[in-house]
Amino acid sequence: MPQSISVKTSSRVEMVDITASVQKEVSRLGVTEGFCFVYVPHTTAGVTINEGADPAVCHDIISRLNELVPANEAAYRHIEGNSDSHIKASMMGSSVTVIIEKAQLVLGTWQKIFFCEFDGPRSRRVNIKVW
């Protein structure tokens, strides 16, 4: 099993800033230069990189995704009732990759890594692998 971090979510749809946890894992693994691969092994959650300074940005991303992909649609056939979660997961994607230099994630000034919960609240895992 790859290294992983755990994420506990508290809402059905929620973006959780996991940057510090990912950086901690990079530091622990002792990689000074390379790449960090962040992978979500779930089908109703995703991961994205976006602004972390103003929480309103995450609010607006979620609000628009909910508008584009409503929880209930007559056309949905998946009987578990979480089709929207699967669709949102594919729209955000299951992984991000970040450059590592001097043992630090090389993110833009405003960038943070967000775990995207689309069918919470749940206990989730995020796999981390560096090279």
Residue 63 binds to its own copies (criterion: CB under 8 A): yes
How do strand 111-117 and strand 95-101 relate by DSSP bridges? unpaired
Sign of the C-alpha dihedral, residues 84, 69, 64, 4? positive
Query: Judged by CB under 8 A, which of 5, 29, 95, 103 binds its own copies?
Result: 95
**Residue 93 region by backbone torsions, left for phi larger than 0, else alpha for psi between -120 and 50, else beta:** left
Query: Judged by CB under 8 A, which of 5, 29, 31, 43 binds its own copies?
Result: 43
Stretch that binds its own copies, among 6-14, 21-29, 101-109 (CB under 8 A): 101-109
With beta carbons less than 8 A apart as the criterion, state whether 2 and 101 touch.
Answer: no
Residue 105 binds to its own copies (criterion: CB under 8 A): no
* Half-sphere exposure in the Cβ direction for 29 (13 Å, CA): 25
Which spans of this chain sit near its own copies (rule: CB under 8 A)?
Answer: 1-2, 34-35, 37, 39-43, 48-51, 54, 56-57, 59-61, 63-65, 67-69, 73, 75-80, 83-84, 86-87, 89-99, 101, 106-111, 127, 129, 131
